[in-house]
């Protein structure tokens, strides 16, 4: 029983056998409670009618009459008061009726042997060919007292049918087992394919083919498996892209630092040039420092939520303070800034949420146009606050909006060269917002501007 196929067949056959046993037990209960009294009553009526006919026709030959009756399907036992006995029809397997029973019937009582046949006997008790499993009635013929015992001749009645039923039962069981084997193969085959697909997936082969046209649970499982495979493939591609990007973002500043450090070793470099080289080295070190801090923050955010230290604070005042910090950059670029920031208190991590506003504001400044505009609003709703950063900058295409929150993603190569950044900021923003139980959305039209909408719960 190592394979699911064998287990399913064994389980099905076991269920069939158990069902047969339960059906047999229930059938026996029904027989004992309903059929046995019915059969006793029916055969008692027949026996009394036979006795009444014999008594009403004293001139007929009793033995001949009973012989003819046995020919149509009855077993009979006739005994008179002197003990003379005669059997009609097929012989009884056991002639075990008690003398007291015979005396009882001769005295005028009816013997209900079918009804009182042992209760522990199963349904086959009805077929027990025993003399005590009969109906006994008193019979008077030609002024002589008899005791007549009668039961249906089951062998005669079912001589042909029981062979048919036996074949029917055998063929039903055989066909059931064969059909179970084929149906099980049909059911298990998708699981076998899933097993093979799992092995391929474990070896890094994400292009697996499964039947997802089935409408049952296995079809849903195959569809879910393919969805998982696609997501794993995307995750693997993201991982490779992440490694490539971080390698590039680290290697590029290091190469510049190494190059300009070599230039500084030249004693013929003029002081002005030397100062410029030192400034470039400092900028590259700053880039590395920023990248390192963002990577550490992102790793901390991914690891768990314990980094979030929530407390009540005024989010409107926090954003105002941030705007004052960047006022000189906004003015230097000629950007028109407008904001509506009422005092609203929420429960959150002030430090992490300040990182969110900082990233959104610096992006609005960096990707804006000369003499563009930025509009910041804070709106309080029923159980949440909505913060909006809208700029009239260069905007995003639909494809860029789908990936804007991916790690190390930059809008295009030209922008990556002209605008400083690591491509981690918006990924950090989304992670922080989600850790606060909130949502962030981006709405943008290319060459017209971009709007980021952050919704946070007031209490969380």
Cβ neighbours around 386 below 10 Å, total? 15
CB atoms within 10 A of CB 398: 9
State the pLDDT at residue 328.
Answer: 86
CATH code of 20's domain:
3.30.450
- Domain termination residue (choose one: 95, 127, 159): 159
CB 49 within 8 A of CB 221: no
Give bridge partners of residue 366 from the DSSP assignment: none
Mean pLDDT for each consecutive 10-residue tract of the chain (460 residues)? 65 76 74 82 92 90 91 91 90 88 93 79 67 92 91 69 63 75 71 77 73 67 78 75 70 82 83 86 82 73 72 93 88 90 91 90 88 92 92 86 76 48 78 90 89 88
Tell how far CA 340 is from the center of its chain. Answer: 49
Cβ contact 423:242 at 8 Å: no
- The answer as to whether 437 is a domain residue is yes
User: How far is 71 from 385, CA to CA, in rounded Å?
Assistant: 98
Residue 120 in domain: yes
Q: Does residue 198 sit within a domain?
A: no
Q: Is the residue at 166 inside a domain?
A: no
How many structural domains does the chain have? Answer: 2
Helices 36-56 and 62-71 pack at an angle, to 10 degrees, of 150
Q: Do 444 and 396 touch, CB atoms closer than 8 A?
A: yes
Identify the CATH number of the domain in which residue 388 sits.
Answer: 3.30.565.10
Q: For residues 169 and 20, is the Cβ–Cβ distance under 8 A?
A: no
Domain boundary residue, one of 114, 143, 159: 159
377 domain residue, yes or no: yes
What domain range is 117 assigned to? Answer: 4-159
Q: Is residue 277 part of a domain?
A: no
CB atoms within 10 A of CB 106: 17
Which of 96, 127, 159 is the last residue in one of the domains? 159
- At 145 the pLDDT is 93
pLDDT value of position 225: 74
Angle of the 425-435 helix axis to the 350-366 helix axis, nearest 10: 140
So what's the pLDDT on residue 417? 42
In degrees and rounded to multiples of 5, residue 415 shows phi and psi of: -65, -35
Q: HEC string of the chain?
A: CCCHHHHHHHHHHHHHHHHHHHHHHHHHHHHHHHHHHHHHHHHHHHHHHHHHHHHHCCCCCHHHHHHHHHHCCEEEEEEECCCCEEEECCCCCECCCCHHHHHHHHCCCCEECCCCCCCCCCHHHHHCCECCCCEEEEEEECCEEEEEEEEECHHHHCCCHHHHHHHHHHHHHHHHHHHHHHHHHHHHHHHHHHHHHHHHHHCCCCCCCCCCCCCCHHHHHHHHHHHHHHHHHHHHHHHHHHHHHHHHHHHHHHHHHHHHHHHHCCCCCCHHHHHHHHHHHHHHHHHHHHHHHHHHHHHHHHHCCCCCCCEEEEHHHHHHHHHHHCHHHHHHCCCEEEEECCCCEEEECHHHHHHHHHHHHHHHHHCCCCCCEEEEEEEECCCEEEEEEEECCCCCCHHHHHHCCCCCCCCCHHHHHHCCCCCCHHHHHHHHHHHCCCEEEEEEECCCEEEEEEEEECCC
286 in a domain, yes or no?
A: no
CB within 8 A of 281, min separation 6: which ones? 256, 257, 260, 261
In a domain? residue 238 = no
Residue 304, pLDDT score? 62
């Amino acid at each position: 029983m190592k394979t699911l196929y064998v287990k399913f067949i064994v389980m099905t056959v076991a269920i069939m056998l158990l069902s047969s046993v339960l059906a047999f037990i229930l059938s026996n209960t029904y027989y004992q409670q309903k059929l046995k009294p019915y059969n006793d009553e029916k055969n008692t009526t027949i026996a009394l009618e036979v006795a009444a006919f014999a008594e009403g026709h004293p001139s007929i030959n009793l033995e001949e009459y009973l012989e003819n009756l046995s020919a149509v399907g009855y077993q009979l036992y006739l005994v008179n008061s002197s003990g003379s006995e005669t059997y009609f029809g097929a012989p009884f397997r056991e002639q075990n009726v008690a003398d007291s029973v015979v005396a009882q019937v001769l005295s005028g009582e009816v013997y209900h042997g079918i009804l009182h046949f042992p209760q522990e006997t199963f349904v086959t008790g009805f077929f027990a060919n025993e003399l005590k499993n009969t109906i006994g009635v008193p019979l008077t013929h030609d002024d002589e007292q008899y005791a007549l015992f009668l039961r249906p001749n089951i062998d005669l009645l079912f001589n042909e049918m029981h062979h048919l039923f036996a074949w029917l039962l055998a063929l039903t069981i055989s066909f059931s087992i064969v059909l179970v084997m084929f149906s099980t193969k049909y059911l298990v085959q998708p699981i076998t394919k899933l097993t093979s697909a799992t092995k391929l997936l474990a070896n890094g082969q994400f292009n697996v083919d499964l039947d997802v046209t089935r409408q049952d649970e296995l079809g849903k499982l195959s569809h879910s498996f393919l969805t998982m495979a696609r997501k794993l493939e995307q995750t693997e591609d993201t991982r490779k892209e992440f490694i490539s990007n971080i390698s590039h973002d680290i290697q590029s500043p290091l190469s510049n630092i190494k190059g300009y450090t070599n230039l500084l070793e030249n004693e013929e470099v003029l002081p002005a040039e030397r100062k410029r080289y030192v400034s470039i080295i400092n900028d590259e070190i700053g880039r590395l420092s920023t990248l390192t801090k963002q990577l550490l923050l992102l790793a901390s955010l991914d690891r768990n939520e314990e980094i979030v230290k929530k407390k009540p604070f005024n989010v409107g005042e926090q954003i105002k303070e941030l705007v004052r910090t960047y006022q000189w950059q906004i003015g230097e670029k000629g950007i028109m800034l407008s904001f509506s920031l009422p005092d609203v208190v929420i429960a959150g991590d002030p430090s992490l949420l300040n990182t969110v506003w900082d990233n959104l504001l610096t992006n609005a400044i960096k990707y804006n146009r000369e003499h563009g505009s930025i509009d910041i609003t804070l709106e309080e709703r029923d159980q949440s606050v909505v913060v909006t950063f809208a700029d009239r900058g260069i905007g995003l295409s639909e494809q860029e909006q789908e990936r804007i929150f991916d790690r190390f993603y930059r809008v295009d190569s030209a922008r990556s060269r002209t605008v400083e950044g690591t491509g981690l900021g918006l990924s950090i923003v989304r992670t922080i917002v989600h850790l606060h139980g909130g949502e962030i959305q981006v709405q943008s039209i290319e060459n017209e501007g971009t709007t980021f909408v952050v919704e946070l719960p007031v209490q969380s």
